[in-house]
Amino acid sequence: MIRAIYPGSFDPVTYGHLDIIIRGAALVDELIVGVLNNNAKTPLFSAEERVRMLEEVTGNLSNVKIIPFEGLLIDFAEKMDAVMVIRGLRAITDFENELKMAQTNHKLSPKVETAFLTTSLEYAYLSSTVVKEVAYFGGDISQFVPENVKCKIQEKIIKKESVHQ
């Protein structure tokens, strides 16, 4: 039984993440999408909201589970009995940080390997940060995120605007 973790902030999940989830899930018996609950990062969405959005978009994938975590990724991986961490690599700019994370994690627990999937070309430019910025300035984000996520971002932005008025 190969259980892998695909960790991230997912603030919010994009089509780029979904692409890695679908391809990652096809490679292992069970894929746990680990949603980092880190208040220091002040995300747009709470961990519960990010988990819910991920559950909605992965409902058709029977071997995918969405679980929030706090603290070290490697502790979470060990707790879940996972042998692999999967990360997506978009461009060379991702590589340096990802390599450091993978090597640090391997030092902390040599039992857990990190595997990289190269992001599909059509999503190579995509990030949650860019999606939020486009949405904030009223741009169309339909091609970046699933419909339920698009609605949630728009709701959040409208709420924020009404608080600041």
Active site residues: 17, 41, 90, 128
DSSP H helical segments within 113-146, as ranges? 128-136
Give the nearest distance from C-beta 143 to ligand PNS in angstroms.
20
**Minimum distance of ligand PNS from residue 74's CB (angstroms):** 6
Taking the C-alpha atoms of residue 74 and residue 79, their distance in angstroms, rounded to an integer, is 9
State which residue, 58 or 105, has the beta carbon closest to ligand PNS: 105
Q: Which residue is nearest to ligand PNS (CB)?
A: 8
Nearest approach in angstroms of CB 124 to ligand PNS is 15
In whole angstroms, how close is the CB of 25 to ligand PNS at the nearest point?
A: 18
Alpha carbon distance 1, 3 (integer Å): 6
C-alpha distances in Å from residue 46, one per residue of 10, 37, 39, 41, 60: 10, 8, 9, 11, 23
Contact residues for ligand PNS, defined by CB under 6 A: 7-9, 36, 72-73, 101, 104-105
Q: 9 vs 58, which CB is nearer to ligand PNS?
A: 9
Residue 21, C-beta contacts closer than 8 angstroms, at least 6 positions apart: 6, 31, 33, 58, 61, 64
- Which of 27/72 has CB closer to ligand PNS? 72
Structure tokens belonging to residue 158: 């409208």
Between residues 104 and 118, which has the closer beta carbon with respect to ligand PNS? 104
